[in-house]
A and B are shown apart, each in its own frame.
Chain A
Amino acid sequence: MTSSVVFKSFTALRHSSVEHPKLIHPHTTPNSPFPYRRFRITASKSSPKLQNRNLRVAVIGGGPAGGAAAETLAKGGIETYLIERKMDNCKPCGGAIPLCMVGEFDLPLDIIDRRVTKMKMISPSNVAVDIGKTLKPHEYIGMVRREVLDAYLRERASENGAKVINGLFLKMDIPTRGNENVKTPYVLHYTEYDGKKGATGEKKTLEVDAVIGADGANSRVAKSIDAGDYEYAIAFQERIKIPNDKMVYYEDLAEMYVGDDVSPDFYGWVFPKCDHVAVGTGTVTHKGDIKKFQAATRNRARDKILGGKIIRVEAHPIPEHPRPRRVLGRVALVGDAAGYVTKCSGEGIYFAAKSGRMCAEAIVEGSENGKKMVDESDLRKYLEKWDKTYWPTYKVLDVLQKVFYRSNPAREAFVEMCADEYVQKMTFDSYLYKKVAPGNPLEDLKLAVNTIGSLVRASALRREMEKLSV
């Protein structure tokens, strides 16, 4: 299996990292209450115990990642600060969450505006395939309004004891590397808004022991720790209010358009929202032509959104891969700030929330519920766990994108294959439950043969098409 082969080489890299932690803080051993543990691997055990206070952690950014992280930290007994610049931020987003997120994060069902149970994939030559008949009655893709979801998660964090601050993070003072004194705090500089709109807010500072950067694709925390850049896609979306009779069609159905006209390396979509549809597209390589792609998407959906009125236009960047550096000292990045958006589907909400939670759990564990100081190795444990759990998912989606979004013939083959029930079942199973499900090997083989067949046919047609133009 391709994924397991790749996985093996990745583990090899991590083995070397496990041996190193014992070298990271040799200088703390004189201060350590357990001097006989000098050469033990668990470096965090030799970290000093905190006197008279709990660990202080700041979470910058109050989206799904920040909210989930703050909640877990607060529940773990850590003094948590959640800094969010815009409490009612209506984010431009597809808003699709997988079924497992509802269960894992105990989301109330009224947060979900719509349950999408059917999808239509439309190829460049307008071959339309319906997928979703393999879904069981309780399975669906939830469509949420980001402002509702984000606010709910923040609210829950605050209920558990996190202090939510309405402020804009500016920069942070990092304790110098090298012979660092483990006790030196990170000093955050932020502007606090105290409810008055239009006011510039007052500059404040906050001293914390660790920072979780959950501030999204243009993360300032990432800039502070010099995390490096990533390639990103531009997603452009128009919210269109269409007449009620047309809205019925989109009651529980989402559409996906593929083609060179719609996007050279991504797809165009029509997603139903609470009372309107979101029509959009995205691209990495041809950002300058995004408006043209959007027009083409609208053109392809023309009959179905006839008579619609555009009520909002929005755009946002989507990371394509993780940043080169996701952890530095006691600062960790999660969610979009780290670049945890999958390829091929561009899904980010679930992974943001999950990574926030995982990072927070690592901090809670490493600090023994806030009693001890954490250090980089504890945060690396979160990275390890994350990479191990979700690497296969990311890799498979990357391969899918490389194979099927390459060219029009590949996209035609893609849509043709979606008609297959086995494909639909595997797709939904892995999407809804976030597990790369082991399939039936015989069916897998049949699938492989069919895939190759589709690709070959589509490619052959393409070659003929090229002959036609000459």
Chain B
Amino acid sequence: MSLFPPPLTRLPPSFSSKHHFIFKPTLSIRPTNPPLLLSTFKASTDDGGAGVSASAATVVEPKSEQKEPDASESVPVAEENSNGAVAFGGGVKVEVSKFEDPRWISGTWDLKQFEKDGETDWDAVIDAEVRRRKWLEGNPESSSNDDPVVFDTSIIPWWAWMKRFHLPEAELLNGRAAMIGFFMAYLVDSLTGVGVVDQMGNFFCKTLLFVAVVGVLLIRKNEDLETLKTLLEETTFYDRQWQATWQDETSSSPKNE
């Protein structure tokens, strides 16, 4: 199954998606595609002849209506909890409707239809794209060569993104930082008598300021604290898996002394 080169980024960005993937199992996909003639000819796994396969890596054996009894191998039916919705050879005819919108022409948004006062209304373009993606999440479409999707989100100018997404959040975060800053400055002043200007000269106060700024930036929702902890663990997890074999060696050698 190998293969295939995914694009390589030399500097993987530290931008971490705050949106945990939540798999919605209620996708309305009709499992049997009417145009395909499904005739399962032979089902086999690569561990057929082994007989005893007690290891944790059990192979999924797809449920098959007609199983050819194999002379040399006994095909073990190691069933996982397979979702019984997929039935081979079914003939349920369901038409999945495609995404339709008068402004979606030949695989991209027709910007001329988004004009407002002589200029393109980028917010409307963003809204339209959001609706399209939402639709597709619920009704995945077949990717077709005759009707390819060529829309690229980078045609929407950077300032449109800024205005819509970055600025409101920036306002929020700056507000938080200002409130924390004012309150802490007041508190420190009342406790130590050091004024705001003198606080800025003190190393400890500068550290506190740094911590406050970083905290406001990184922890935007309550869940972010947990997210950050798991992210940190995640970054080194793979390394630890690789180095496991070396722990083994360094710990066993003293035994031989």
Structural contact, B15 and A456, CB atoms closer than 8 A:
yes
A301 to B55, CA, bound (A): 35
Closest Cβ–Cβ distance, residue B6 to chain A (whole Å) = 5
Give how many A residues have a beta carbon under 8 Å from the other chain's beta carbons.
173
Residue of A whose beta carbon sits closest to that of B257 = A23
Pick from A9, A296, A468: contact of B239, CB below 8 A.
Answer: A9
Residue of B nearest to A439 (CB): B10
B78 to chain A, nearest CB (A): 10
Give the CA-CA distance A237 to B44 in the complex, in Å: 11
Q: B56: which A residues are within 8 A, CB to CB?
A: 229
Closest 3 CB pairs of A and B: A431-B5, A96-B3, A302-B142
Interfacial residues of chain B within 185-221, with CB under 8 A of chain A in the complex: none
Q: Which residues from B are CB-within-8-Å of A345?
A: 2-6
Give the CA-CA distance A260 to B129 in the complex, in Å. Answer: 18
B37 and A315 form a contact (CB under 8 A)? no
Determine whether B171 belongs to the interface, using a CB cutoff of 8 Å to chain A: no
Establish whether residues B83 and A292, one from each chain, have CB atoms under 8 Å apart when the complex forms: yes
- A403–B231 CA distance with the chains assembled, in angstroms: 11
A14, A125, A282, A396: most-surrounded residue (chain B CB, <10 A): A125
User: Is A160 an interface residue when CB atoms closer than 8 A count as contact?
Assistant: no
> Does the CB pair A447–B11 fall under 8 Å?
yes
CB of A119 within 8 A of CB of B143, answer no
Is the CB–CB distance between B82 and A290 below 8 Å? yes
B253 and A410 contacting across the interface, CB-CB below 8 Å: no
Interchain Cβ contacts within 8 Å, total number: 407
| Of B32, B43, B57, B61, most A-chain CB atoms within 10 Å | B57
Binary per-residue interface labels of chain A (430-470) against chain B in the complex, 1 for a CB within 8 Å, 0 otherwise: 11100010010000110110011111111111111110110
Question: A29: shortest Cβ distance to chain B, in Å?
Answer: 13
Binding site for A on B (CB under 8 A): 1-13, 15, 17-21, 23-25, 27, 29, 31-33, 35-47, 49-50, 53-62, 64, 71-72, 80-83, 85-86, 88, 96, 126-127, 129-134, 136-137, 140-146, 148-154, 156, 158, 161, 164-165, 234, 238-239, 241-246, 248-250, 253-257
List residues of chain B with CB within 8 A of the CB of A185.
Answer: none
Nearest-neighbor residue (CB-CB) of B85 within chain A: A292
Residues of B within 8 A of A306 (CB): 35-36
List A residues 295-316 near B (Cβ within 8 Å).
Answer: 295-296, 298-316
Task: Tell me the smallest distance from the CB of B147 to a CB of chain A, in Å.
Answer: 9
A277-333 with Cβ < 8 A to chain B: 280, 282, 286-292, 294-296, 298-319, 321-328
Q: Which of A80-132 contact B (CB under 8 A)?
A: 85-86, 89, 91-96, 119, 122, 124-128, 131
What is the minimal beta-carbon distance from B58 to any residue of chain A, in angstroms?
Answer: 8
CB closest residue in chain A, given B10: A444
**Could you tell me if B21 and A260 are in contact, using CB atoms closer than 8 angstroms?**
yes
Q: Determine if A23 and B254 form an interchain contact, defined as CB atoms under 8 angstroms apart.
A: yes
Which stretch of A70-78, A363-371, A421-429 is in the interface? A421-429
Bound form: Cα–Cα A286–B81 in Å: 10
Instruction: Report whether A451 and B9 are in contact in the complex, using a CB–CB cutoff of 8 Å.
Output: yes
What residue in chain B is nearest A342 (Cβ atoms)?
B2
- What is the bound-complex CA distance between A394 and B143, given in angstroms? 31
Q: Which of A47-55, A202-210, A249-257, A353-361 lies at the binding interface? A: A249-257
Q: Are A312 and B41 in contact (CB under 8 A)?
A: yes
Known: A295-B29, A431-B5. A457 touches B57 (CB 8 A): no
CA gap between A349 and B15 in the complex, in Å: 32
Q: Cβ of A95 and Cβ of B11 under 8 Å apart?
A: no
**Cβ contacts A336-347/B at 8 Å (1 or 0 each):** 000001011111
Per-residue B-contact encoding for A1-42, CB less than 8 Å = 1, 0 else: 110001001100110110011011110000000000000000
A257 and B151 alpha carbons, distance in the complex (Å):
17
Which residues of chain A have C-beta atoms less than 8 A from B144's C-beta?
A: 303-304
Q: Are B132 and A125 in contact (CB under 8 A)?
A: yes
Q: Tell me the minimal C-beta distance from A417 to chain B in angstroms.
A: 6
A399 within 8 A of partner (CB): yes
